[in-house]
Amino acid sequence: MAHTQVVIIGAGPSGLLLARLLAMAGVRTVVLERHSRAYVEARIRAGVLEPGTVALLNEAGAGARLQAEGLPHSGFQLAFEEQTHRIDLLALTGQQVTVYGQTEVQKDLGALHLAAGGIIHYEVEAITLRDLAGRQAGVEYLHNGVRERLDCDFVAGCDGAHGVSHQAIPAQAVQRFERVYPVGWLGVLANVPPVSHELVYANHHRGFALCSMRSQTRSRYYIQCAVGDRVDQWSDEQFWNELQCRLPAAMASALITGPSIEKSIAPLRSQVTEPMRYGRLFLVGDAAHIVPPTGAKGLNLAVSDVRFLWEALTGFYQHHDERLLNEYSSRALLRVWQATRFSWWFTALMHRFTDDPAEHRLQVAELLNLAHSRAASQAVAENYIGATF
Ligand code: RFL
Ligand code: PHB
């Protein structure tokens, strides 16, 4: 029977980063991914990396292109009622974030791990987890039409919100906390220069809008849309018109539009699974928790989970010490709930959820308070930069 030390389900950023860090510590892993390499490397998702994320990517040896091409951002803008307020991250926290696409993180980690001889099986089907509560776990799967079984000490469930790992846990063994928001985000990627050199989060009575970017020549924009909207209902022209309408006039007139090269809709929801462990299975990243994207926390939480699990597994293999394995879930959940709270608060501040006019007036009051209070701005800045991990 084939055996490895840790089976990692999912070759997203959390699975690849964990594989890479464990390989550096001499721990043997096999990564099993449902999709092709080309598919996972093309998925457009996150763009904002906290300093702790950048630090761990550097430790993993995956920092070269990130240092060269990542855009350091020392602040971001809040737009509302024809005005903007800058959250000066650097002045308020002494730190900044880095704008670097998740697609690039994914490519850097994949190339690095494979070049160092790491094993990643792509296009694996029908994964079943066995004996998670036993002395040794097993993972069965179909690869190239052949049924395989791999025994292992531990399974890392890095397979996202729709993966098999969290579903393999008996319902009575965990608690799930879920919140569904009544809106979605329609995102467009276009080869046009960004309207602002910093991110702009806009509150408008027609709904939220976000101006982000991937480079000086590639922009990523989002607008709040209805939860049931389909991409084909939104032409490029409709998207640009709606975005323009939700930005302050001076910014809207400076917006450069162009054909979309990607367009997608993401529902907004929040979910936390507690604990993040069941026997030999550890849940990591989106497999354990989802946050609405407003706070830019999802990828950063996935990376902090990886740090905690990597420290725990190396403690176990190098020092026969199970303490950090036993503490993994509680250490990770501290940061998860911090980010869940911030993402919920920021989402509620910036989106239009109801037709109640008081909702918008209360939001504007809170935004004005942020604009006038250094203490309130500092709290936002600290949360955006993220707690140290
Ligand atoms: P992923 O990236 O979903 O990777 C999971 C991998 O597992 C594979 N998989 C399976 N493999 C084998 N067997 C199965 N049964 C499997 N089922 C699934 C999948 O194919 C995939 O390759 O999870 P991971 O690694 O935990 O990473 C999490 C992040 O991807 C996610 O949190 C972020 O993208 C969230 N997010 C953002 N996070 C940030 O930190 N900053 C941002 O600015 C930010 N913006 C965003 C976002 C997410 C968004 N969407 C699409 C929800 C913007 C958007 C619009
Ligand atoms: C992005 O660039 O995709 C992005 C940036 C900030 C967010 C969410 C997404 O809060």
Residues 173 and 218: their CA atoms lie apart, in Å, by 45
For residue 174, the model assigns a pLDDT of: 98
Contact 324, 334 (CB under 8 A): no
Q: Which two tokens stand for residue 306?
A: 């990886």
Q: What is the pLDDT of residues 296-333, one digit of tens each?
A: 999 999 999 999 999 999 999 999 999 999 999 999 99
**Cα end-to-end span (Å), the chain:** 38
- High-pLDDT (> 70) share of the chain, %: 100
Does the beta carbon of 296 lie inside 6 Å of ligand 2?
yes
Task: Using CA atoms of 383, 77, 188, 69 in order, give the dihedral in degrees to the nearest 10.
Answer: -80
Q: What is the pLDDT of residues 122-138, one digit of tens each?
A: 999 999 999 999 999 99
Helix (H, G, I), strand (E, B) or coil at 246: helix
Residues 70 and 64: their CA atoms lie apart, in Å, by 10
The residue contributing the CA closest to ligand 1 atom 13 is: 34
Does the beta carbon of 47 lie inside 6 Å of ligand 2?
yes
Give 52's contacts (C-beta < 8 A, 6+ positions apart): 300, 303, 304, 307, 386, 388, 389
Q: Is the pLDDT of residue 46 over 90?
A: no
The residue contributing the CA closest to ligand 1 atom 17 is: 163
Q: Which two tokens stand for residue 336?
A: 């998860």
Q: How far is the CA of 119 from the centre of ligand 2 (A)?
A: 31
| pTM of full prediction above 0.95 | yes
Give 290's contacts (C-beta < 8 A, 6+ positions apart): 161, 269, 270, 271, 298
Q: Is the pLDDT of residue 1 over 80?
A: no
Q: Average pLDDT in the 280-298 region? A: 98
Taking Cα atoms as reference points, which of 138, 137, 132, 142 lies closest to residue 168?
132
Q: Is the pLDDT of residue 29 over 90?
A: yes
Q: Average pLDDT in the 137-162 region? A: 97
pLDDT band at 144 (very low <50, low <70, confident <90, very high): very high
The 3-class secondary structure across 266-302, one letter per residue, is EEEEEEEEECCEECCEEECHHHCEECCHHHCCHHHHH
**Length of the chain measured in residues:** 389
Q: Is the pLDDT of residue 219 over 90?
A: yes
For residue 51, the model assigns a pLDDT of: 98
Residues within a 6 A CB radius of ligand 1: 9-15, 32-35, 40, 45-48, 102, 124, 127, 158-160, 162-164, 185, 187, 266, 285-286, 293, 296-300, 302
Q: How far is the CA of 62 from the centre of ligand 1 (A)?
A: 19
Mean pLDDT in the chain? 97
Q: Which helix (H) or strand (E) holds 10?
A: none
The residue contributing the CA closest to ligand 2 atom 5 is: 47
Residues 285 and 291: their CA atoms lie apart, in Å, by 10
Q: How far is the CA of 198 from the centre of ligand 1 (A)?
A: 24
Q: Where are the alpha helices (DSSP H) in 116-248?
A: 236-246
Q: Is 111 exposed, middle or buried (0-12, 13-18, 19+ CB in 10 A)?
A: middle
Point out the ligand 2 atom lying closest to the alpha carbon of residue 45: 3
Residues 221 and 207: their CA atoms lie apart, in Å, by 14
CA geometry: angle 320, 168, 121, nearest 5 deg? 75
Residues 215 and 261: their CA atoms lie apart, in Å, by 14
Contact 256, 193 (CB under 8 A): yes
- Which residue do the tokens 């860090």 mark? 21
Does the beta carbon of 102 lie inside 6 Å of ligand 2?
no
Contact 199, 75 (CB under 8 A): no
